[in-house]
Amino acid sequence: MPVDPESPRGGSGSPPAGDPGRSAGVPNDPPAEEAGPPPPAPGHSRAPRRRRPGRAPAADTSPAGEPPADEPASDEPGRRVAVSLEEIRSLLAGLTETVGREHERAAHRERVIDRLHEDNQRLRHGELQTAFEPVRAALYRLYDLVRREAERETVDPAHTPVLLAAIAEELAEILARTGVEPMPVETGEAFDPARHRPAGTQDVDDAELDGTVARVQRAGFVRGDRIARRAEVIVARMAAEPVGGE
């Protein structure tokens, strides 16, 4: 018996239940594809697709160092200002440290100067005391001489000039210990304004004595080659001729 080509293989030849097309002998149409959204019209952009709940966001594929396309650019001026402020803080800290070191050095120098000043004052005081010792010794002798003469019961008038000369010699020795010596001035020497100080004039008849030292009133003193005090002298002058003389 010939096999019906339309009948399924291995079947009983009858169409499955519930399939009217198969039972009527009409071939079945292929199933229609699932309907999707219509294509966008020309000139209009497609609206972004809404992400389904529970779906992970797409990975960022932007190059390294560049912000993602959907994020705003970084604040570059603000970052530069922050870096500048940090540099300023660092410079100020270094400056403060330098000023502190300089202040410590200045304080140390002041302490050294004060200590040197104190040492100098002590040294000068010691030198002055040492220099005064010979003067004190001579003054001690002068005091003893005057005191001894004052205690004499009888006073000889002829002894008074000798006593005063001795006192003058003691005083000259005291001055010599300080570096000052009497300046010798002789009667009859020429008047010298650098060495002599005129205290008055005295008339003389000899023309050769005109302008010479007639008398010394106060002695002069020298310190080495320098004049410490000029001698006060009386200067000789020629007497004026009387008017209508003989």
Which residue, chain included where needed, has tokens 């992970």? 56
pLDDT of residue 212: 94
Does 227 map to a domain? yes
pLDDT of residue 40: 54
pLDDT of residue 148: 84
Per-residue pLDDT of the chain (246 residues; tens, 9 = 90+): 444 444 444 444 444 454 444 444 444 554 544 555 555 555 555 555 555 555 555 555 545 555 555 555 567 887 888 888 888 988 999 899 999 989 999 998 998 999 888 888 888 888 888 878 888 888 888 888 888 888 877 777 888 888 888 888 888 888 888 889 999 999 999 999 999 999 999 999 888 899 999 999 999 999 989 999 999 999 999 877 544 444
For the entire predicted model, the pTM comes to 0.44
Does 42 map to a domain? no
Same domain, yes or no: 97 and 154:
yes
Domain count, the chain: 2
Same domain, yes or no: 117 and 153:
yes
Measured between alpha carbons, how far is 175 from 184 in angstroms, rounded to an integer?
15
Query: What six digits make up the tokens of 47?
Result: 């609206």
CB 60 within 8 A of CB 70: no
Does 147 map to a domain? yes
Measured between alpha carbons, how far is 142 from 154 in angstroms, rounded to an integer?
21
Among 134, 156, 178, residue at a domain's last position: 178
pLDDT of residue 242: 45
Same domain, yes or no: 108 and 200:
no
Same domain, yes or no: 131 and 171:
yes
Same domain, yes or no: 84 and 173:
yes
The residue segments making up the domain with residue 208 are 181-238
pLDDT of residue 121: 87
Same domain, yes or no: 153 and 102:
yes
Does 135 map to a domain? yes
Does 21 map to a domain? no
Same domain, yes or no: 132 and 149:
yes
Does 10 map to a domain? no
CB 206 within 8 A of CB 179: no
Same domain, yes or no: 119 and 170:
yes
Same domain, yes or no: 200 and 174:
no
